[in-house]
Amino acid sequence: MSKLALFGGTPVSEKICPQPWPPISESTADKMRELYLSRKWSFNSQAEQDFEAAYADYHGAKHGIFMVNGTVTLECALLAGGIGEGDEVIVPALTWIATAMAVRYVGAIPVFVDIEPTTLCLDPEKAEAAITPKTKAIIPVHLYGSMADIDKFKTIADKHNLFLIEDCAHMQGGKWNGRGVGSWGNVGSFSFQQSKTLSSGEGGICLTNDDDLAKRIYLAKHIGYGKNTAQGAANEGPPVGLPCHNYRGTAFEATILKDQLEGLSDLIERYNRSAAIIKDKIADVPGVRIQTKGRLASPQGYYTLALIFDGKGIKDVPLMRIIEVCAAEGLQLGGTYGPVYQHLLFNLAEDEYRVDGESCPVAESTGTEKTAMLAHPYLGCDDETAAQMGDIIAKVVKNYKEL
Ligand SMILES: Cc1ncc(COP(=O)(O)O)c(C=O)c1O
């Protein structure tokens, strides 16, 4: 008699539901109504200025520059750093395609480097080995629920005179060695797209401690106007060679984010609590492990809980089968992005990018074929549900021989 629900056994749980996402509140809805009736919808509202200051402060940075999404924040960071045509920029092989596409938007060449099998983040040693005389910047991504080793990347960036951008799209509120992510590199770039742990549907922000970079990022997002300069009232134009766009966000997004930020610490605490319960449940189950959090990461800002099924036995079971079996037990997992250079939407010509060493085996195998993701809204649950999720994963792995 089979134990697994897919083959007639008793499921661990009824279908486990994630918390509704993004969170909503009556008081934010009131503010949105007031804002709508005020007719003052555009950029640089008081809400936007307050949010920029509060978000920067939360992460230990001096400046925050709000924008329409977390792709153009990367682009503006690169532009502000003077990265462009003929330059190479190192990016991880496993990330959302935006990290690499932003590099291309400024005319530079993304160079894909492999990830670590533990954190699933950019491998510092491989990144340093991939540096050429053309390398001008490096973009580690704090992926899913882990942190790239930012100390090592700072050392590498200093040694080779590289511009360092932290892509923090997955890590709102996370801290490295006691200070917020995004405040360690030259610029930190965040996304507030619908699925992110702080969300206004769309949105993004650059954080920096550098006054001059903050100024240049602002010019790049506001068609060349400086901060608090009314349209039509500039005294000087932007510097020659700095392409400037309109990437301004609206007061609606800022109003939502400002309110949501107040709950971010609690949210992260809840996520870390649920993750700890799940980890505990599978601690003694050989075959499955959880993405390592990053050497000095505490707390983490989980975007997903990445489960790596690469131990003896289960590693030979196709990931889609594991996902199917977990779903039958009550838990819906998803797959990862896969390597950027193999993504369906990645359409750069061969001479527009480079894959270090021709392939990135860890990203292609461990990071793609062996890794399933539990989306963060599942982590906002009670302890009993977290324990059930752990039980499901443990059950599936222990009974891999049925698969
Ligand atoms: C790692 C990473 N970087 C950048 C982005 C781009 O953010 P946005 O979707 O807000 O443009 C995303 C979005 O999912 C992401 O996951």
The average pLDDT across 313-332 equals: 97
- List the residue whose alpha carbon is closest to atom 8 of ligand 1: 70
Please tell me whether residue 176 adopts helix, strand or coil conformation: strand
- Does ligand 1 come within 6 angstroms of the Cβ of 191? yes
284 Cα–ligand 1 center, Å: 34
Q: pLDDT tens for residues 42-66?
A: 999 999 999 999 999 999 999 999 9
CA dist., res. 137 & res. 17, Å (int): 41
Q: What is the pLDDT of residue 233?
A: 86
- Does ligand 1 come within 6 angstroms of the Cβ of 193? yes
> 24-36 burial, b if ≥16 CB within 10 A, otherwise e?
eeeebeebeeebe
Which residues touch 82 (CB under 8 Å, ≥6 apart)? 136, 163
- CATH number of the 5-21+263-402 domain: 3.90.1150.10
CA dist., res. 325 & res. 6, Å (int): 6
Q: What is the pLDDT of residue 104?
A: 98
The active-site residue out of 196, 215, 221, 258 is 196
Active site residue 40: no
Q: What is the pLDDT of residue 151?
A: 98
Domain 26-261 class in CATH: alpha beta
Residue whose entry in the numeric block shows the structure tokens 């109504």 = 33
- Does ligand 1 come within 6 angstroms of the Cβ of 249? no
Q: pLDDT tens for residues 74-122?
A: 999 999 999 999 999 999 999 999 999 999 999 999 999 999 999 999 9
Residue 293 has pLDDT above 80, yes or no: yes
Q: What is the pLDDT of residue 1?
A: 62
Please work out, in degrees rounded to the nearest 5, the angle formed at the alpha carbon of residue 171 by the alpha carbons of 195 and 211.
Answer: 115
Record the pTM.
0.98
243: preceding bond cis by omega (within 30 degrees): no
Q: How far apart are the first and last CA of the chain?
A: 14
Instruction: Name the residue of 72, 115, 191 whose CB sits within 8 Å of the most ligand 1 atoms, as the mutation to test its pocket.
Output: 191
Q: What is the pLDDT of residue 228?
A: 86
Q: pLDDT tens for residues 134-143?
A: 999 999 999 9
Domains of the chain: which residue ranges?
Answer: 5-21+263-402, 26-261
276 Cα–ligand 1 center, Å: 26
Q: What is the pLDDT of residue 367?
A: 96
- Does ligand 1 come within 6 angstroms of the Cβ of 287? no
